[in-house]
Amino acid sequence: MPLHFLRWTLLGLIGLATTTTVGCTRWIDVIPSSTSQQESVAWTIPKAERVSFVMDTFRVLQNGAPQNPSSEMERRILNTVQETRLFSTLVPLGGTGASLGEKVVTARITVEETIDPHSGTAAWKGFVIGASMFLLSPVLALDYDYAAQVSLELERWDGQVKRYETRSAGTVHYQVFGATPIMISELKGQVTEAWLTDLMDQLVRDTGFYLASSTPLPDSPSLTVTVTARKPLRSPASLSVLPVSASPVR
Amino acid sequence: MAALATPVLAADPSPTITVGTQEIGLSAGYLLPQRLTKHHTTKQEGPALMPSWMMTLTDPVGDGWYRGQVSLGAEVVYIQFQKPVLTHGIGFTPKIKYTFVALDRLRPYVEFAGGPFWSDLTDKVPEESSQFDFVLTAGFGVSWFVTDQTALNAGYRFHHISNAGTSYPNIGLNSSLPFGGFSYYF
């Protein structure tokens, strides 16, 4: 075997070891929501003042396209709501609230996810990295963006509605040998944690609004509900709550 | 205490390959000569073995039949030349692949690879003059996902071996390589 071949093989192996070691890094940047810098507040409320929380609507859109909401995300939202100890009982989507009493808060959540994997750039950089025999892998980082715009609408037993909004975004920067599906999960997890934290901060600031003694039940407990067909979505920005309205009967 | 229900989710009909999904594979085939000009006289042939690693770079892009994703990886190619004389060749090639994902479990792909190649055949044939060469391959194939993580592959590659003008003669050895194999995704 010629000497120059051995030399090139050795150099190649050293280069490969270097690039696979240095090229394995990844890190995540999460942009906090605009309201998350505010000071958090804490309330002490009697247990009897707490009412039930019923998940009424949970919608997820990905780059504008409606998605099947995952039970994991719903569970995570409910767990976070439960951690606030603001509500006595949490009822998930499709659950029955028949035994909860008359004072309940119904929740409508819309999560608009925006995903940008920078596919064109990744493909081009991948070609360059491959053509360089992976030597450029430590210097050519790839990006994956994920953002979530969340609106939470809470309707009190007397029909009053409060709407909360938050947004968080993040980017995972990774080298080609550091890529793994777990990094996408980590990114989504951190972004989700950011908007959940901000949303709960906003919610807790309105604690007084959700106390059982904050307002009595309406004179007539009978409500009418008008259900209409869902209108086609024009754009993610035009999305709103489900077209369900409730008003007391006189 | 919250009682959490589990919504019924529709079953995913196709495997989900996302950014960062890695693939290891093993393919085997048989190299057949392609004498494209009158200067190509060698009828080289023999079995080839190709272990590979790939990493998915993109989520599916595009709409319609060409919807697909790009993956980047590397492959070792070993060829046992049984003709014209029993010799061996081994190479290392970075590889890029575009996989069409519109057909769910049946996924055609095109691939391109190139890299250094050493063989003790190539200094014994009139087309080449050195043992250290380069191999370039371009091909297509199809993957059939038998499970969400395992696929069977079959395809065809065109192989070109030459020394990039580092010595003469440098006519090059061209070959066809039909192959089959399997991949595991994780």
Q: What pLDDT digit, counting tens, does each position of A22-38 carry?
A: 667 778 888 776 665 56
From residue B149, alpha-carbon distances to A55, A117, B1, B42 in Å are: 35, 22, 38, 41
A112 pLDDT higher than 80:
yes
Residue B39 contacts by C-beta under 8 Å, 6 or more apart in sequence?
B127, B171
Mean pLDDT of chain A: 80
CA pair distance A246, A27, nearest whole angstrom:
47
Q: Strands, DSSP E only, in chain B? A: 22-33, 46-56, 68-81, 87-100, 106-119, 132-145, 150-162, 173-185
Distance from C-alpha of B172 to C-alpha of B79, rounded to nearest angstrom = 16
- A154 pLDDT higher than 80: yes
Spans of chain B below 70 pLDDT: 1-13
State percent of chain A over pLDDT 90.
Answer: 41
A186 contacts in chain B (CB < 8 Å):
none
What's the average model confidence in pLDDT over A82-99?
A: 84
Residue B93 · residue B137 · CB < 8 Å: yes
Tokens of B105: 């479990």
Please report where in the chains the tokens 């061209």 appear, as a residue. B174
In this predicted structure, the answer to whether residue A222 has a pLDDT above a threshold of 50 is: no
| Spatial CA neighbour of A51 closest among A157, A160, A206 | A157
- Binding-face residues of A in 63-122 toward B, CB within 8 A: 68-71, 74-75, 78-79, 82, 89-95, 115, 117, 119-120, 122
Average pLDDT over residues A4-13: 78
Q: What percent of chain B has pLDDT over 90?
A: 73
pLDDT of residue A57: 93
The least confident of A90-94, A162-166, A195-199, A235-239 is A235-239
By C-alpha distance, the chain B residue nearest A183 is: B20
B22 in A contact zone (CB under 8 Å) = yes
Extract the tokens encoding B24.
């290891």
Closest residue on chain A to B62 (Cα): A119
pLDDT value for B4: 39
Q: Give strand pairing partners of B54.
A: B23, B73
pLDDT at A16: 67
Place of tokens 């929740």: A107
Contact A91, A143 (CB under 8 A): no
Residue type, B11: A
Residue B117 and residue B76: Cα distance in Å, rounded? Answer: 10
Tokens of B180: 């089959």
**A183–B contact, CB cutoff 8 A:** yes
Assign a CATH topology to domain A20-38+47-213: Double Stranded RNA Binding Domain (3.30.160)
CB B121 within 8 A of CB B159: no
What are the residue boundaries of the structural domains of chain A, listed by start?
Answer: 20-38+47-213
pLDDT of residue A173: 93
Q: Are A222 and A250 a contacting pair, CB within 8 Å?
A: no
Give the start-to-end residue ranges of the domains of chain B. Answer: 23-29+45-185
Task: Return all residues near A168 (Cβ < 8 A) that are at least 6 apart.
Answer: A30, A31, A32, A33, A36, A147, A148, A191, A192, A194, A195, A198
**Closest CA relative to residue A126, chosen from B55, B86, B42, B116:** B55
Q: How far is CA A33 from the centre of its chain?
A: 12
User: What is the DSSP-derived secondary structure letter of residue A33?
Assistant: P
Question: What is the C-alpha to C-alpha distance for residues B31 and B48, in angstroms, rounded to an integer?
Answer: 7
- Class level of CATH domain B23-29+45-185: mainly beta
User: Are the C-beta atoms of B77 and B68 separated by less than 8 Å?
Assistant: no
Chain A residues lying within 8 Å of B57, measured CB to CB:
119, 122-123, 125-126, 142, 176, 179
pLDDT at A221: 46
- The single-letter code of the amino acid at A128 is V
Kindly provide the b/e burial profile for residues A200-229, where b requires at least 16 CB atoms within 10 angstroms of the residue's own CB.
Answer: bbbbbeebeebbbebeeeeeeeeeeeeeee
At residue A1 the predicted structure's pLDDT band, cuts being 50, 70 and 90, is low
From B91, which residue of chain A is nearest by alpha-carbon distance?
A: A9
Asked casually if ipTM beats, i.e. exceeds, 0.85, the reply is no
* Chain A residue at shortest CA distance from B74: A130
User: How many CB pairs below 8 Å do chains A and B form together?
Assistant: 106
